[in-house]
């Protein structure tokens, strides 16, 4: 499965695809309990995430059937203009869900930092359209972060709120390092690491 960097002109398409992929995700069900409002707001929320946080986005060739965003080690670079606009617009759009939205975001970041205090590549989001699953797209979208992890000799890390995803990531070399809730009264969460493979010489020395 070939993947390529997501272009700027594909962000809207990618945001709409991710909204469909995450419509029934436990985290978003907690933040936005109304299925109708979730379907209406998720495309905007994903688009804002693309605009605010600097990341390395990957997708499929042609139509956007899947997308992943990998964040490099260190504090993520934020784009100030879009961030300020989002801070103003979010309470207007999310209304009563605003507090849950920000509480969830703080909890995810806190859990990630607690479980992965050192440098790591972070999978900030990954989704595959329902009609394109089980075709190797998800596995292919993991490869850029895994490759960077090996090159930089640091782990790659992710957080999922969907227990069904744990087995998928385990089969691809990740292991659960922390389990909790995001936030305490929110959905269950699993932080998973994949450590870089250390190459050994033929004699068995590092």
Residue 130 included in any domain:
yes
In a domain, 30, yes or no: yes
Note the pTM of the prediction, 2 decimals: 0.89
Residue 205 inside a domain? The answer is no
| Total domains in the fold of the chain | 1
pLDDT in tens, 95-153: 999 999 999 999 999 999 999 899 999 999 999 998 888 889 999 999 999 999 999 99
pLDDT for the residue numbered 203: 52
Q: Is residue 202 part of a domain?
A: no
In a domain? residue 47: yes
Provide the residue range defining the domain that includes 81.
3-194
CATH number, domain with residue 97: 3.40.630.30
The total number of residues written for the chain in this structure: 206
Looking at the domain assignment, is residue 204 inside a domain? Answer: no
Q: What is the pLDDT of residues 56-91, one digit of tens each?
A: 999 999 999 999 999 999 877 888 888 899 889 999
Residue 74 lies in a domain: yes
């Amino acid at each position: 499965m070939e993947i390529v960097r997501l272009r700027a002109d594909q962000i809207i398409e990618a945001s709409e695809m991710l909204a469909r992929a995450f419509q029934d995700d436990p985290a978003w069900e907690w933040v936005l309990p109304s299925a109708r409002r979730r379907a209406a707001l998720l495309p905007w929320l994903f688009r804002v995430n693309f605009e605010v946080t600097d990341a390395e986005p990957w997708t499929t060739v042609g139509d956007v059937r899947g997308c992943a965003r990998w964040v490099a080690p260190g504090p993520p670079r934020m784009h100030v203009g879009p961030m300020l606009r989002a801070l103003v617009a979010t309470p207007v759009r999310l209304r009563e869900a605003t507090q849950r939205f920000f509480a969830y975001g703080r909890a995810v970041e806190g859990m990630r930092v607690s479980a992965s205090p050192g440098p790591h590549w972070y999978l900030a989001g990954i989704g595959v359209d329902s009609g394109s699953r089980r075709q190797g797209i998800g596995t292919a979208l993991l490869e850029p972060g895994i490759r960077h992890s090996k090159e930089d000799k640091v782990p790659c890390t992710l957080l999922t709120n969907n227990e069904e995803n744990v087995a998928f990531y385990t089969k691809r070399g990740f292991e659960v390092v922390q389990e909790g809730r995001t936030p305490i009264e929110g959905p269950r969460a699993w932080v998973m690491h994949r450590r870089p493979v250390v190459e050994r010489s033929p004699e068995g020395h590092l």
